[in-house]
Each structure stands twice: as C-alpha cells, then as structure tokens.
A and B are shown apart, each in its own frame.
Chain A
Amino acid sequence: MEYSVGSIAPIFLAPVLAFVINAFFGRRLPRNGDWVAVLGVFISFIFSARIFGDFVFGKFATDYYIHKTFTWLDLSYMDQVWKFDLGIYIDNMAAIMLLMVSGVATLIHLFSTWYMDHDPRHGRFFTFLPLFTSAMLGLVLSDNLLALFMFWEVMGFCSYSLIGIYYEKEEAGDASIKAFMTTRVGDVFLLLGIVAIYMVIGSVTYTDIYAAIAEGKFAGQSVLGIGLATFTGFCLFLGAMGKSAQFPLHVWLPDAMMGPTPGSALIHAATMVAAGVYLSLRMYPLMVAGDLTAFIAIIGAITAFGAATIALVQTDIKAVLAFSTISQLGYMMIGVGVGSYNAAFMHLITHAVFKACLFLSAGSVIHSIHEQQMPKMGGLRKKLPYTFIAMFCCSLAIAGVPFFSGFVSKDRILGDALYWGFMAGQNPMLAIVPILGFAGAFLTAFYMFRMIFLTFFGTPRDQHIYDHAHQEHLSFTSNVPLLILTVFTLGFWYAGSLTGQGIVNVMGAKTEWFKILVEAPQVEKFVGSEAKKTPFIEPTTYTETLPVAVLDGQTGYAGPNPDEHKIHSAHVIGAVASIIIALTGIFLAFLMYVKGAIKPLAPKFPGYVRTLQNRYYFDKVYQDIVIKKGLLGLNRLLAWFDMGIYDRFAVDGWAKVNRVLFRIAKWFDNVVIDAVGVDGAGVAVNLFNLVLRIVQSGKIQFYFIMLIVVLCSYIWTLNF
C-alpha cells in the first residue's frame, strides 16, 4: 500500500477550488454556488475519512507518521545551501483532527445553505466559508511552523470577513476589526517565536524541533536573559492565546457573534479557536522544555472560570455560547498545562462537535423566531422539537453528564488537574487550578441549563414571537446536520465504552482508542528522523502492521508510572466530584428557572452582576486605558514622526531635490536633445532636400544635359 500526494492533497485543495470557483463565478452559478462549497468540503471529508480509517483502525504502529516535503524556496548558490522545505505531516493527531474539521465543516456548510438562504450576502458567505475550512485543513496538514503561520493568518482574514459580513452595521465592522487586531497581538509574538526557533536550529519543521529539543540544542541559550526554550515557548503560546481566546486576549471572541451564526459555529468549533490549542499541543515538548506548563495551566484556569462567570448573566443566546467556548478553551489549556495531552486533544474534538451543534441549534432558534434575547423566548420545545433534542444533548455533553462526550474528555482533564494540583508534590498554590476548574464546571452546568430552560421550557414570555415562530419539520439541510452532530455527542465514540473515563479506568484502558493513539510526542524518537522524510511527489509506502501496543494489551501511552495508583484515585475522585457538580448545577438551574423555587440571586449582588454584565470591564480597560492612554499617545507620537519628520523632511525634501534635478534635465532636454538633436536633424535634411529637388527635376532632357556636362568634365579632367 502506498500514500501518494493524490490521496492527501485533495483534502486541502478541494475547498480551495470551491473558494476560487465561488469567488470568480459564484454569482453566475445557481444558488450563488453554495453547492460548490458543500461539495468541495465534502470531498475533503471523504479523503480525510480514508486517512482517519488507515490511522485509527490499526493499520500502523501508533507512532507511525507520514512526512512528505518539497523545496519551496531554494536560494542555494555555489556550495552554500539555503533551502526552505514545506510539506505534509500526518500522525494520529492530525488524522483525527482532519476528520473532525472536515466533518464538522461539511455539516456547517450544509446547515448554512438553509440558514443563509435568501440572505443578501449568501454568495459572499459561501466564498469565505470553504476558504476558512481549507486554511484550517492546511494548518493541520502542514509540517512546519511557517506554513502553520500562513494558514493561521488566512484564517484570521477569513474570520475578519465572516464577522464583518454585514459590514453596513457599525458593530459588525468594529467587531471584525477587533477580532483581527486582538489576534494580531498574539500573531506578532508567534512570528517572533518562529524566527527565534529558526535562528537556533535552522529549521521550523516539527520533527526537527522535536529532535533539537531531544538533542538539547535549546539548553544553555538565552534571549534577553530568558532561557531560549522559555522564550520561544512563551511566544508561541501567546499566539495560541490570541487565537484560542485565552485571558487576557479573549475579548474578541464574544464580539465575533456579529457574523452569521453558522460562521460563528465554524469559528468557535472546528477552525479558528481550535488552531491555538492545536499549536499548543504540537509544541507541547517545547512548552515542557521551557517550564511553561504551570503558566499555561493557570491561564487556562483563569479563562475557564472567568468566562463561565460572565456567561451566567448573559441574555443573548449566542453570547452564552461564546463565553462557554472561551471557558471550554480554558479547560483545554488546563489539559495542556497539567500534562494530560490526549485529554486536552480529546476535549478539543468533543468540544468542536458539541459546540458546532450548539451554535447551529442557536442558529435554528434565531432563524425561526428572529430574536436572540433569551428573556423573550420560552416554551419553544413544542415549536422546535428537533432543535430542542440537539441542544439538550449538547448541553448535557458540555455540562459533563455521564454517557456524553464532555464527561469523557473534561473529567479526564479535571482528574489530571486534581492529581497535578494536589498530589504531584507541586507548589501548593497551584491547587488553584483544579479548584477553579471544578468551580467552572459547576457554573458551566448551571448556565447551560439556564439557557436551555429559558429558551425551551416554561411558558412563552413573548406570546407574539412565540405565535410567529415557524413549526419545525425534519429537513435535510436545517436539522439533520444537528441530529448527526448530536449522535456524536455520545461518549462511547470517544471513550470506546459507554461509561466514560473515570470508571473505564477500572475496567481497563484497552478500549480507549484516544489514549492509545494520541500521546505527547516522544522527542527522542525524532532524532535522526530525516530518513522518514519522503519527496512530495513520491508515494509513501507502508506495510500493514497491527499496532503492537494493542496486541500486547498495553496502553502504550503512559508506561509504567510509579504514581499510577495516585493518578487513578485522583481520577475516580474527579469523576465522582464532577458528576455531583454537574447534576447539582443542572438541578439548581431547574429549581431557579423552571420551578421558581429559588429566586435568582442576581438582585442580591447588583455590583457583581454589573461587573459581570460588563465582562469584568475588559473591553473598557482596553479601550480607556490601554488604547486611549497608552496606544493613542504612542500613535500620536508616531503620527507626528510620520507627518512632521518623515513626510516633511524625507518625502518633501526628496521631492525638492528631485525638482532641481528635473529642472536640469528639462533644460538638457529642451536645448541639447530637442533643439540640436531633433530639430537639427530636420534642418539638415531640409537643406539637403533643397539641392536634391533642383537636380531631380523629372525632365529627361535635363538629365541628358547633366550627363553631357558630367561626361565633358570627366574628359576634361582626364586631359589634365
């Protein structure tokens, strides 16, 4: 068997082609070419599924990967070699990621054909959606940080375009600029980190970076007095913070809801925010080498808890989901920080599925009642039965109820955090991470079910809106995508068992394919990995081997760990605690918003609620202090420098010099070239013509006379 480029490249190229077709011919196609976009993404889904099947269902050893490169830039001269390679790198993680991205994106595209129907920006939307998807797929496929950065920026641009798609609304324009500029803060550091890595090891390919870490090339070097691994890891993590909306760069994500809801679904689930976590996971060995894990865990914990508190008081259905996204991304970062690598990745996947479903469900609700404010909803269960089922299951998943995917992934993260914070002998202050994590989990269960109860239960609070809501019928584009995603919120797809992580461990981890397949890169294995690179156009051959780890019944992920017992008990405690916490949260929401047995606590803490409603004043602080006090002054200084110094002296001065030069040139032109050269030639020709005109009379007898005269003078000359 072999892998050729033809079986990998369509994953990336099919959506790109859809983008090109829609960008240039979309308006002339029927339905503005939305079917082209769906088709393009679906093709990439099919090719991803093949790779996923090969990688997951045991064709390869667990550490197998495909690495194909081609020379992108060759500036070699004589014997000095300077080349830059780009390529494809697929391991288990990338294979799973490809299937998730293309699958979720296909369903989102399908849903969008219904949601965006008759929208004035229909064609524009379906131009950027496949480009967005292709950028994410390219990011997952790429084998180095530079290509990752390029796709990263393409995604930044696409999110900018999708958020600001209704650009005539001022908030939408502002939100798109905010999203772009906030992520840009992280991107600058990301680029800095990439450059720093390139300066040290001369390559930004993942395998080379892993090998360099294993060989200790990062050790003993420092930048600005900071250890090199710490510096580069920190820069890369700042990039990930910007993209994955981590505190304090989270402010763009809530505003990103200005775009159409399916666009938000794509940004919040499969693509944009996943990219940051994906980068952190890919560069996990660097984070470990730079001792950044505690920092990452703390940032994640603050984000997870803070965003959950803000979500408590939001009334806009999409705002609740946006803050829950930030909160869940915080959990993923906790997972990266506490070293539960595969749980963080698993949460990325499960979150992508249920968050896409939640956003699409919200889109379905908004589309049918044309209202986003939850206080005006209520009782929609009967009008929107399928949307209700989807949203309810996803809320169970995100809240971490057993049998659903969120329980499997989030509670593994929390269990690892519990062990890491309390039992691993760390600084006791770090116990704050699991505490904030569990508190956030409680709040998550509460606010998600607050949303469910306010939207779907009780009596309609606005009878007019309720009466005008369309009754939902089963349709291939509007709610089948939701139901498909709902099926994949069940836990057993991920855990390999219906019960989820905490109890599965008791039954043996053999069936948990995530644990077997996804593990933190063992950097030592990559030393001398040059041999595994294959040229881009040559097929990669492989022999079918069953994963040894599975045959032997070993888990293959952790190895013998002396603290296995402690980890295990931490997981059991964590699982039990989070089941209790989730159910308590749901029950509390039920009491408050359905039964009315407990009055909402909001009126008792007006000051805190106001703080929450203002989102901890982050926007205000950035606007008033960072931008107005700091950046505006800097901008004025730069503007003064630009206008006063640079423009006045450099640009205008250069203009003056040029004016003098041109005056000289003009004189030279007029006098020397024009008068002497051009006109002189004309005068000379004129004079010559005067003579010639006399001689060339055209009278034949005149020629005879000339002939005789010449002849006579010739003879006369000869005689003397």
Chain B
Amino acid sequence: MISLASYLVISLILFVAGITVMVARKNLVAILLGVELVLNAAALNFVAYSRYLANNLDGHIFSLFIIVIAASEAAVGLAIVIRFFQIKDTIHVDEATQLRN
C-alpha cells in the first residue's frame, strides 16, 4: 500500500521544482511550465487528501477544476507570450519592463 506520505513527497518535489523553474529561468515559456508544475502539485495534493482522509470525491472534483483552469491559463499565458514576442522579438522575461516609470 502506498502511503499518503509518498504522495505528499512527490507533490512537494513537484511544487519545489515548479517554484525553482519560475524563479530561476528567464524564458517566459519555461515560467509557464513552472506554473503548470505548481498547479499539478496542488491537484495531486487534493486527490491524495481526498482519498486518504475524507474518502470521498470532493478532491477529485477540485483537481478537475484545476486542470481546466490550468488549460485556460496556459492558453492565455501563451497568447501573451506570443504577443510579447511579436513586440519585443524575444521572450526573455527581463525585457518586460514597460510598466516601469
């Protein structure tokens, strides 16, 4: 039997990896990927807690929501990235400084 702790450890690894990608990478697409990892870590947590502690389907429903939200977030995020690329000719995140000053 796989224990709850195993799920949580994987979830934690995913979460930390996502955060690390978000902070460390300068590529916008990579940052979006990091966001996906964080969301998936959260979804895994929901499903794991739902199965081991509550023993009902609430967590599953939430994870489905998260998947939908992640999909739409990716669509919007990629659209922004494409627009950004058209304007700046790069997807380097440090170039996104137009709101300053």
Partners in one complex: yes
Identity of the chain B residue whose Cβ is nearest the Cβ of A700 in the assembled complex:
B93
Residue B22, interface by CB 8 Å: yes
A699 and B95 CA atoms in complex are apart in Å by 9
How far apart are B73's CB and chain A's nearest CB, in angstroms? 15
Whole-angstrom distance between the alpha carbons of A698 and B99 in the complex? 8
Identify A698's interface contact among B19, B22, B31, B100, CB under 8 A. B100
B100 to A704, Cβ gap below 8 A? no
Q: Are A708 and B96 in contact (CB under 8 A)?
A: no
* Docked CA distance A705–B23 (Å): 7
Interface size class of A (residues with CB under 8 A): under 10
Which residues A221-247 have CB closer than 8 A to chain B?
A: none
Determine the chain A residues whose CB is within 8 A of the CB of B97 once the complex forms. Answer: 698-699
- Whether B94 is near chain A, meaning CB under 8 Å from some CB there, is yes
- Expressed in whole angstroms, the minimum distance between the Cβ of A176 and any Cβ of chain B is 74
Kindly report which residue of chain B lies nearest to residue A698, judged by CB atoms.
B100
Bound-state Cα–Cα, A700 to B100, Å: 11
In the complex, which residues of chain A have a beta carbon less than 8 angstroms from the beta carbon of B31? 701
Question: Is B23 within 8 A of A701, CB to CB?
Answer: yes
Contacts of B24 in A (CB 8 A): 701
CA distance A698 to B95 in the complex (A): 10
Q: Chain A's nearest CB lies how many Å from the CB of B37?
A: 14
| Complex Cα gap A698–B94 (Å) | 9
- On chain B, the residues within 8 Å of A699 by CB distance are 93-94, 97
Are the CB atoms of A701 and B100 closer together than 8 Å?
A: no
The 0/1 profile, CB within 8 Å of A marked 1, for residues 1-41 of chain B is 00000000000000000010011101000010000000000
B99 and A704: CB pair below 8 A?
no
Hey, which chain B residues are within 8 Å of A696, CB to CB? 100
List residues of chain B with CB within 8 A of the CB of A701. 22-24, 26, 31, 93
Given the complex, which residues of A lie within 8 Å of B99, measured CB to CB? 698
Interface string of B66-99 (1 = CB under 8 A from A): 0000000000000000000000000001101101
Q: How far is the CA of A704 from the CA of B94 in the complex (A)?
A: 13
Q: How many angstroms between the C-alpha atoms of A472 and B14 in the bound complex? A: 126
A691 to B26, CA, bound (A): 26
Question: In the complex, which of the residues B19, B23, B24, B26 has the most CB atoms of chain A within 10 Å of its own CB atom?
Answer: B23
CA distance A388 to B56 in the complex (A): 136
Q: With a CB–CB cut-off of 8 A, which chain A residues contact B100?
A: 696, 698
Q: Which residues does chain A contribute within 8 Å of B94, judged by CB atoms? A: 699
Q: In the complex, what's the smallest C-beta–C-beta distance from B45 to chain A, in angstroms?
A: 15
Name A471-517 residues within 8 Å CB distance of B: none
Q: Which residues in B have their C-beta under 8 angstroms from that of A705?
A: 23
Chain B proximity mask over A692-720: 1 for CB below 8 Å, otherwise 0? 00001011110011001000000000000
Looking at the assembled complex, report how far the CB atom of B82 sits from the nearest CB atom of chain A, in whole angstroms: 18
- How far, in whole Å, are A532 and B40 apart by their CA atoms in the complex? 105
Q: Is the CB of B96 within 8 A of A700?
A: yes
A700 and B19 alpha carbons, distance in the complex (Å): 13
Give the residue name and chain of the B residue nearest to A697 (CB): B100
CB-CB < 8 A to A704: which residues of B? 19, 22-23
Which residues of the other chain, B, contact A708 by a CB distance below 8 angstroms?
19, 23
Q: How far is the CA of A699 from the CA of B100 in the complex (A)?
A: 9
Tell me, rounded to whole Å, the shortest Cβ–Cβ distance linking B21 to chain A.
10
A698 to B93, CA, bound (A): 11
Q: Bound complex: CA of A696 vs CA of B26, how far in Å?
A: 19
Q: How far is the CA of A696 from the CA of B19 in the complex (A)?
A: 21
State A701–B24 Cα separation when bound (angstroms): 8
CB distance from B65 to the nearest CB of A (A): 22
The smallest C-beta distance from A322 to any residue of chain B, in angstroms, reads: 88
How far apart are the CA atoms of A701 and B31 in the complex, in Å?
A: 9
A701 to B96, CA, bound (A): 11
Write the chain A residue with the least CB distance to B22.
A704
- A702: nearest residue on chain B (CB-CB)? B23
Chain A residue numbers with a CB within 8 Å of B26 are: 701
CB distance from B42 to the nearest CB of A (A): 14
| C-alpha gap A698/B96 in the complex (Å) | 8
Residues of A within 8 A of B93 (CB): 699-701
- Assembly CA distance A701 to B94 (angstroms): 9
- Chain A residue at minimum C-beta to C-beta distance from B24: A701
Chain A nearest CB, measured from B39 CB (Å): 15
What is the CB-to-nearest-CB distance from A314 to chain B, in angstroms, rounded to a whole number? 94
**Closest chain B CB from A225 CB (angstroms):** 92
Question: How many angstroms between the C-alpha atoms of A696 and B101 in the bound complex?
Answer: 10
Shortest beta-carbon distance, B26 to chain A, in Å?
Answer: 8
Q: Measured between alpha carbons, how far is A698 from B22 in the docked complex, in Å?
A: 16
Taking the closest CB of chain B, its distance from the CB of A714, in whole angstroms, is: 15
Closest beta carbon of chain A to B70's beta carbon, Å = 18
For the complex, give the distance between the alpha carbons of A696 and B99 in Å: 11
Residues on B with C-beta less than 8 A from A698 are 97, 99-100
A522 to B99, CA, bound (A): 97
Q: Could you tell me the distance between the alpha carbons of A226 and B22 in the complex, rounded to whole angstroms?
A: 112
By beta carbon, the residue of chain A nearest B99 is: A698
B68 to chain A, nearest CB (A): 24
Q: How far does the Cβ of B20 sit from chain A's closest Cβ, in whole Å?
A: 10
Residues of A within 8 A of B19 (CB): 704, 708
Q: How far is the CA of A699 from the CA of B96 in the complex (A)?
A: 8
Q: Which residues of A contact B23 (CB under 8 A)?
A: 701, 704-705, 708
Residues of the A chain whose Cβ atoms lie less than 8 Å from the Cβ of B22: 701, 704
**Bound form: Cα–Cα A705–B20 in Å:** 10
Alpha-carbon gap, A696 to B23, bound state (A): 17
A633 to B96, CA, bound (A): 92
B19 CB, nearest partner CB in chain A, Å: 6
Name the residue on B nearest A696 (C-beta): B100
Alpha-carbon separation in the docked complex, A391 to B99 (Å) = 99
Chain A's closest residue to B96 (CB) is: A700
A702 to chain B, nearest CB (A): 9
Residue of B with least CB distance to A699 = B94
Complex formed: what's the CA distance from A705 to B96 in Å? 17
- Bound complex: CA of A705 vs CA of B22, how far in Å? 9
CB distance from A422 to the nearest CB of B (A): 112
When each residue 28-65 of chain B gets 1 if its CB lies under 8 Å from chain A and 0 otherwise, what string results? 00010000000000000000000000000000000000
Distance A416 CA – B25 CA, assembled complex (angstroms):
129
Closest to B93 in A: A700
- Tell me, in angstroms, the Cα distance from A704 to B18 when the chains sit together: 12
How far, in angstroms, from A78 to B96 measured CA to CA in the complex? 76
Look across to chain A and name the residue whose beta carbon is closest to the beta carbon of B100. A698
How many angstroms from the CA of A708 to the CA of B31 in the assembled complex? 15
Q: How far is the CB of A145 from the nearest CB of chain B, in Å?
A: 79
- Please, what's the 1-or-0 string for A432-456, where 1 marks a CB less than 8 Å from any CB in chain B? 0000000000000000000000000
Bound together, the chains give a CA A708 to CA B23 distance in angstroms of 10
Task: Kindly identify, within residues 493 to 547 of chain A, every residue whose CB is under 8 Å from any CB belonging to chain B.
Answer: none
CA distance A696 to B24 in the complex (A): 19
Q: A698-B99, A701-B23 are in contact. List 12 more A-B contacts (CB 8 A).
A: A696-B100, A698-B97, A698-B100, A699-B93, A699-B94, A700-B96, A701-B22, A701-B31, A704-B19, A704-B23, A705-B23, A708-B23
8 example contacts (A-B, Cβ-Cβ < 8 A) are as follows A696-B100, A698-B97, A699-B97, A700-B96, A701-B23, A701-B24, A701-B31, A704-B22
Chain B contact residues, CB within 8 Å of chain A: 19, 22-24, 26, 31, 93-94, 96-97, 99-100
Shortest 10 CB-CB distances between A and B: which pairs?
A: A698-B100, A698-B97, A704-B23, A701-B23, A704-B22, A705-B23, A700-B93, A699-B94, A708-B19, A701-B93
